[in-house]
Amino acid sequence: MKRLVAYITTGYPDAAFTVDLAHALAEAGVDTLELGIPFSDPVADGPVIESANLKALEAGFRLEHLFEVSRQIAPAIDTLWMGYFNPFYHRGVEHFVSEAAGAGVSGFIIPDLPFEEARPYKPMIETAGLSLIDFIAPTDTPERIAMIAADARKFLYLVAYAGITGSGESEDLSAVIARIREATDTPVYLGFGVTPETAREKARNVDGVIVGSAFVKVLLDESLGGSEKIAKISAMAQQIKEAIND
């Protein structure tokens, strides 16, 4: 059974909605939830997620909202925090580790923290029973792929193309996936550009997919009410889960 990871922006339009959406996604078959931590300069994300980040910040998002939301949803769905390193550094990685462990969160995705620079933090994170998800890009050398894969926990985040999220581009990743398989048994999940229309194709040869911008587009649709957004995103999640396991 291939896995589905869903990204949503915490606190948009508000924290209570995030909790309701998270529970709905769990019921829809989502295996892991990426709770995006709103940040003013989300360098790996395209305009859709960037817009949701800024709207959440304008609405008054604070890190305490992330912690409270997580305590309410982590018992129901495997939860990861996805955020940029600035808040982790500013508040302290130790603080995030403590809050995550206390809330039942399973780990972190920090896209602007390179593998080498993450090494000092990994022992503390893993001692707390958490995972720091590693990225592999199609531009990585075979030697770098082997190095990252050998140290991976939970799953490897394979970036579908060199660029930002949501552009829907595609590259032939068969050689990269083969090199990863040679180096580790850790599951490989593909992210960037996965939509209901492309999920089946992109899920080939990997163990799961990560979907973000397609869901956040619905969050940003001001023509829909809150319950309509939840229903539409849940239906999309079910469609994607069925497609990748067809």
Residues that are catalytic = 34, 45
The first and second tokens of residue 126, run together, are 């893993």
> Which of helix, strand or coil describes residue 116?
helix
Task: Give the Cα separation of 83 and 7 in Å (integer).
Answer: 11
The secondary element (H helix, E strand) that includes residue 156 is strand 156-159
Task: Give the Cα separation of 185 and 47 in Å (integer).
Answer: 34
Question: How many helical (H) and strand (E) elements, i.e. helices and strands, does the chain have?
Answer: 12, 9
CB-count exposure of residue 227 (10 Å: 0-12, 13-18, 19+): exposed
Task: Give the Cα separation of 19 and 77 in Å (integer).
Answer: 11
Alpha-carbon dihedral angle through residues 214, 133, 10, 159, given to the nearest 10 degrees: -20
Helices (H), 34-121: 47-58, 63-73, 85-91, 93-103, 115-118
- List the Cα angle 179/32/203 in 5-degree steps: 40
